[in-house]
Amino acid sequence: MLTVDFTRFPLAAGDRVLDLGCGAGRHAFECYRRGAQVVALDQNAEEIREVAKWFAAMKEAGEAPAGATATAMEGDALNLPFPDESFDVVIISEVMEHIPDDKGVLAEMVRVLKPGGRIAVTVPRYGPEKVCWALSDAYHEVEGGHIRIYKADELLDRMRESGLKPYGTHHAHALHSPYWWLKCAFGVDNDKALPVRAYHKLLVWDIMKKPLATRVAEQLLNPVVGKSFVAYATKPHLPKDSADAAAAAK
């Protein structure tokens, strides 16, 4: 299940991609399949081990084209272990709402992104997320949980302040909003509640089968109750005089 829409976020074979806060690796795997040179980075060592295993399995199964590479590594989003202008593409999906210094994370992403490079940022959408917070303190008051809810304009303003130029937005995963409302209403750790179990089966069926009815329904509902807000931006090229001055200062 991808949150980034690669029809709006073009990826070329050979692009160097950083999936920052990769989690279970869903976007990293898709970039690898598309022929990119992928670095999946997360602070969770257990998840990184699993992502590395999946990368190896994908390579063995021939799921990635020739020339594609994939690396999984632990790292700190506020202190990325890469030189300036290392990546053509940066993806950060459902991560920034967890990090107190979100401006610092944006600054690091901009630093490692090449001029002309592209970035995709996804966060929980304001409305559906407010419902979750209202229904359950346990949903967000946990270690490593969500510490803020972004309004769309607020996130776009922070991206602009960091030097990025947003070029598109959309919402995703409308069918998942009711699932999380049910989870929050019946207890976020209570997977045995009948409504939660029933709706989870629906989501699994939808992900596996991709029936036309639910695909159309989600597209219609995304603008209204999409669970995620997705923003795309580029890092502008510096004017020549500014670029020369920056190079001289290094």
Strands of 125-218, DSSP E = 165-172
Q: How confident is the model at residue 243 (pLDDT cuts 50, 70, 90)?
A: very low
pLDDT at 238: 73
pLDDT one-digit tens code per residue, 50-63: 999 999 999 999 99
Q: What is the pTM of this model?
A: 0.93
**Could you give the CA distance from residue 213 to residue 240 in angstroms, rounded to a whole number?**
52
CA dihedral 224, 225, 227, 233 (to 10 degrees): 10
Strand-strand pairing, 165-172 and 228-234: antiparallel
pLDDT one-digit tens code per residue, 59-99: 999 999 999 999 999 999 999 999 999 999 999 999 999 99
